[in-house]
């Protein structure tokens, strides 16, 4: 379109100059012709741009629609008994193995584990050992290849997925923030929550302080993907969102990795005080984060290497002692 426009201008100047020399037209007429022509061609250029934006939009909407229309493979299995054991917030893994079907490698093997209602269970282990995979079986993001996972005594496959995910709250390893206000980002946890509930969730997540320091407090807009906030601030907003939901089971997948130890300790103290009846499963890399948990599970190569309190593990588990020593060394060199 630009080439057409410029060639047309050159053409008019050429034809116009010949005609001016012959005395047929005035120079002003040629100038007017150039102006009119550019205006018309500019209009056509805009039209062409609208068409290209439109076709791009249509391609994107087709793609989005295909994603939205995808049927989930996770469905309620009516044949299984939905008879629970009456507990509220218990989790049990029975001989669970797990394989990612796309590459076929076995990530978890022979997992047996019970978590009591209200208990704080920490999961620790090397990167890539299967911690995130283990907890993703509880809200049934994936199905176990063998064995079964029970929530409140009911096989997770017997639940309506929506009902199961009402009970289980996961604060993902990488949480998304959206480009709306801080308040709305937290309220996503439970859209019907009152202002007071939002504030108390933010206070427990140790986010209240920095939110109030923002220029517009809770009404401060967050940039796309939370880019206007620090890593730790983003994590605390995601934690506040998870706490607001008030599920029976709360899973933190490395959700406090960007917090300093003091803030993290204050968060866990608030959790133990205000969310005592909620079952908490906490994945962490640092031993300092999990020392105070009721029980610590050490995951090694997809199996449970040891399980117990910090002191028990220090005595009995070489894998745990290894992690402890390496972190102590890191601290010393730092």
Contacts with Mg ion, residue ranges (CB under 5 A): 132, 173
Comparing CB distances to ligand ATP, the nearer of 118 and 125 is 125
Nearest residue to Mg ion, using CB?
132
Contacted entry of Mg ion, ligand ATP, none for residue 130, CB cut-off 5 to 8 Å set by kind: ligand ATP
Closer CB to ligand ATP, 128 or 318, in the complex: 128
Residue with tokens 């920490």: 122
Question: Cβ 319 to Mg ion, closest distance in Å?
Answer: 18
* Residue partners of 85: CB distance under 8 A and separation at least 6: 152, 153
φ/ψ bin of 117: left (φ > 0), alpha (ψ from -120 to 50), beta (otherwise): beta
What contacts 245, CB < 8 A, 6 or more positions away? 169, 189, 190
Of residues 174 and 315, the one with the C-beta less far from ligand ATP? 174
Task: Provide, rounded to whole angstroms, the least separation between the CB of residue 235 and Mg ion.
Answer: 14
Residue reference for tokens 């100038």 = 31
- In this structure, are residues 155 and 80 in contact, taking their beta carbons and an 8 Å threshold? yes
| CA–CA distance, 134 with 299 (Å, rounded to integer) | 10
Q: Which is nearer to Mg ion, 220 or 285 (by Cβ)?
A: 285
Q: Which residue is nearest to ligand ATP (CB)?
A: 132
Cβ proximity to Mg ion, 131 vs 241, nearer residue:
131
CB under 8 Å to 204, separation ≥6 — which residues?
Answer: 240, 243, 267, 270, 271, 274, 275
Interacting residues toward ligand ATP by CB under 6 A: 100, 102-103, 107, 125, 127-133, 173, 254
The answer to whether residues 152 and 84 touch, using CB atoms and an 8 Å cutoff, is yes
Q: Which is nearer to ligand ATP, 138 or 187 (CB)?
A: 138
Task: Name the residue among 242, 239, 241 with its Cα closest to residue 264.
Answer: 239
The residue (of 131 and 280) whose beta carbon lies closer to ligand ATP is 131
Q: What is the CA radius of gyration of the chain?
A: 30
Q: Which does 133 bind (CB under 5 to 8 A by kind): Mg ion, ligand ATP, none?
A: ligand ATP
Measure Cα distances from 76 to 1, 8, 159 in Å.
57, 67, 6
Nearest to 122 by CA among 291, 6, 255: 291
Query: Binds 89, which of ligand ATP, Mg ion, none (CB < 5 to 8 A, cut-off by type)?
Result: none
Q: Which does 107 bind (CB under 5 to 8 A by kind): ligand ATP, Mg ion, none?
A: ligand ATP
Nearest approach, Cβ of residue 85 and Mg ion (Å): 29
Minimum distance from residue 180 beta carbon to ligand ATP (Å): 28
244 binds, among ligand ATP, Mg ion, none (CB under 5 to 8 A by kind): none
Minimal distance, residue 327 CB to ligand ATP, in Å: 14
In the complex, minimum distance from the CB of residue 123 to ligand ATP, in angstroms, rounded to a whole number: 8
């Amino acid at each position: 379109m630009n080439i057409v426009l410029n060639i047309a201008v050159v053409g008019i100047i050429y034809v116009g100059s010949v005609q001016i020399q012959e005395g047929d037209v005035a120079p002003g007429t040629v100038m007017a012709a150039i102006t009119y022509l550019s205006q018309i061609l500019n209009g056509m250029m805009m039209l062409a741009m609208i068409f290209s934006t439109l076709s791009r939009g249509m391609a994107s909407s087709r793609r989005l629609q295909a994603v939205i229309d995808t049927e989930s493979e996770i469905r309620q299995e009516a044949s299984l008994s939905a008879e629970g054991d009456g507990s509220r917030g218990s989790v049990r893994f029975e001989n669970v193995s797990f394989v990612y079907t796309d590459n076929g490698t076995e990530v978890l093997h022979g997992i047996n584990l019970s978590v009591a209602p209200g208990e704080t269970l920490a999961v620790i282990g090397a990167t890539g050992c299967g911690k995130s995979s283990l907890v993703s079986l509880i809200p049934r993001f994936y199905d176990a290849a063998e064995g079964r996972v029970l929530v409140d005594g009911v096989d997770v496959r017997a639940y309506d997925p929506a009902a199961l995910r009402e009970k289980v709250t996961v604060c993902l390893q990488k949480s998304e923030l959206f480009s709306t206000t801080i308040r709305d980002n937290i309220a996503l946890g439970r859209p019907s929550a009152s202002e007071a509930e939002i504030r108390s969730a933010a206070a427990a997540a140790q986010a209240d302080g920095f939110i109030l320091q923002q220029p517009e407090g809770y009404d401060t807009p967050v940039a796309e993907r939370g880019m206007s906030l620090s890593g730790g601030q983003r994590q605390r907003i995601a934690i506040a969102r998870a706490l607001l939901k008030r599920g029976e089971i709360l899973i933190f997948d490395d959700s406090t990795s960007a917090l300093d130890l003091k803030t993290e300790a204050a968060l866990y103290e608030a959790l133990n005080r205000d969310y005592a009846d909620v079952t908490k499963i906490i994945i962490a890399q640092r031993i300092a984060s999990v020392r105070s948990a009721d029980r610590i599970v050490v995951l090694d190569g997809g199996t449970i290497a040891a399980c117990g309190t910090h002191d028990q593990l220090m005595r009995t588990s070489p894998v745990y002692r290894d992690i402890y020593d390496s972190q102590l060394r890191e601290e010393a060199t730092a």
